[in-house]
Amino acid sequence: MQTADRLKKIPPYLFMELRQKIAKARAEGIDVISLAIGDPVEPTPQPIIDELSKEAYHPANHRYPTDEEKGMLAFREAVAEWYRTRYAVSLDPKIEVLGLIGSKEGCHHFVLAVVNPGDVVLMTDPGYPAYQASIWMAGGEPYRVPIRAEHGFLPVFDDVPSEIARKATAIFLNYPNNPTGAVANPQFFARLVEFARSYDIAVCYDNPYSEIVFEGERPLSFLAAEGAKGVGVELNSLSKPFNMTGWRIGMAMGNADLISAISKVKENTDSGIFNAIQYAGIVALRKCQDNISKMLEIYGNRRKRVVDTFNQLGWDYRPPKGTFYLWLPTPKGMGALELTTLLFEKAHVVVAAGTAYGQYGEGYVRISLTVPDDRLDEALRRIRATLS
Ligand SMILES: *Cc1c(COP(=O)(O)O)cnc(C)c1O
């Protein structure tokens, strides 16, 4: 049987391969600790679960959620209210907000809504692998803009060749950044708006870690920048701030024409988010802010333990201030894959090789803080024994 050519360019999803490797070692009786995957282990807050349980009993919620095409208006209103209070961004919930089955889905549907076959789409290197896969699936050509430590892992727009910028129709950006942990700032947003405007490039600002920032960093939205709504959309998600990765609920906000184009793709693809989950999402946004502070404290403690461990081993490591990942430089002369393999074989600890995020990820590994405290401590103990 034939499978489509569009799938041939896409390497196996990084974490599928890792899962197989881990499963194999575990089947051999090895106690593997994975620090590779970013997926909170603490449960979803109780009020959200209670709301889902309650709403699941209402037959009205068992039907297609399509009565209002952009998702339930009540959910979109809660999103607009959250953006107003958290980021001082005003949104019209009727035309500038769209419910999503997660931000990953939104990225894919954004490309289908914006990109013609052959179009160039900009993204960073290193960058989130799903952007590249979506660009390829839509027939677009990814152009990877390097991001480097010396520029705070932010792209330098002046380094994008102007013939590439002219051909580009869209750009993906994501700060607080997976995988580097870097954060953006208002000056960068202003420059991004200017760049997007001068080359007529649609911005997809993927912001699922907006709330996961440390050491006095403020949560930021790209949409707070002047002119942002004129050039793009921001995606966000309840997955990371409310420990809801399995629930599949997120949102797109911003430019009304883009929102309506993405909505058109969605109407012909999925039929929206289960109503009971949208009600649960409203409870998350309105009543569960305390979960965010609780998780920031947990991640902050784990972050400190990892940083201290590596600094005791002789690293001089001062990580950027966002996300629940640490983007750790490998020792001099050691490649990303080499360190990953060493830690897997000697310590039975899995970290993600930086090269899985692009060629400029060489020289780094990514460590995720979404593991229980005792497992993290055990992993750090083994890492210390392996590397000292
Ligand atoms: C986790 C993650 C997502 C996926 O979020 P969902 O809302 O669960 O689909 C999207 N983008 C980036 C950069 C992520 O790290």
Q: Is residue 67 scored above 70 in pLDDT?
A: no
Burial class of residue 147 (count of CB atoms within 10 Å of its CB; 0-12, 13-18, 19+): buried
For residue 36, pLDDT over 80 is answered with yes
* pLDDT band for position 129 (cuts 50, 70, 90): very high
176: preceding bond cis by omega (within 30 degrees): yes
Residue 65: band (very low, low, confident or very high) from pLDDT cuts 50, 70, 90: confident
Closest of 291, 283, 289, 286 to residue 52, by C-alpha: 283
pLDDT in tens, 306-334: 999 999 999 999 999 999 999 999 999 99
- The pLDDT of residue 19 is 81
Cis peptide leading into residue 179 (ω within 30°): yes
Which atom of ligand 1 is least distant from the CA of 38? 1
pLDDT in tens, 220-244: 999 999 999 999 999 999 999 999 9
Q: Which of 206, 236, 251, 368 to mutate to test the pocket of ligand 1 (most atoms within 8 A of CB)?
A: 206
Residue 103, burial from CB neighbour count under 10 angstroms (0-12, 13-18, 19+): buried
pLDDT at 71 over 90: no
pLDDT confidence of 70, banded at 50, 70, 90?
low
3-state DSSP call for residue 120? strand
Residue range 168-193, pLDDT digits in tens: 999 999 999 999 999 999 999 999 99
- DSSP run (H or E) holding 164: helix 162-167
CA 193 – CA 107 distance, rounded (Å): 19
263 pLDDT tier (thresholds 50, 70, 90): very high
φ and ψ of 126, to 5 deg: -65, 160
Q: How far apart are CA 299 and CA 290, in angstroms?
A: 14
Number of H helices, E strands in the chain: 13, 12
**How many A from CA of 346 to the centre of ligand 1?**
31
Q: CA angle, corner 232, sides to 227 and 233, nearest 5? A: 115
**How high is the pLDDT of residue 17?**
74
Ligand 1 pocket test: pick from 105, 109, 128, 131 the residue with the most ligand atoms within 8 Å of its Cβ.
128
Alpha carbon 19 to its chain centroid, in Å, reads 19
Ligand 1 pocket, Cβ-based, cut-off 6 angstroms? 102-104, 128, 174, 178, 206, 208, 237, 239, 245, 250
Q: What is the rounded average pLDDT of the residues 31-58?
A: 96
Q: Could you tell me the distance, in angstroms and rounded to a whole number, from the CA of residue 104 to the centre of ligand 1?
A: 5
Contact (Cβ atoms closer than 8 angstroms) between residue 375 and residue 33:
yes
Question: What does the chain come to in residues?
Answer: 388
CATH 3.90.1150.10 fits 5-43+290-387, yes or no: yes
Residue 1's contacts (CB-CB under 8 Å, 6 or more residues apart) are none
Q: What confidence score (pLDDT) does residue 21 get? A: 83
The domain segmentation of the chain, as residue ranges, is 5-43+290-387, 46-287
Locate the ligand 1 atom nearest the alpha carbon of residue 244 and give its number.
8
- If you ran DSSP here, which 8-state letter would residue 322 be given? B
Q: For the domain made up of 46-287, give the CATH fold.
A: Aspartate Aminotransferase; domain 2 (3.40.640)
Contacts of 108 (CB under 8 A, 6+ apart): 130, 134, 137
Q: How far apart are CA 190 and CA 184, in angstroms?
A: 11
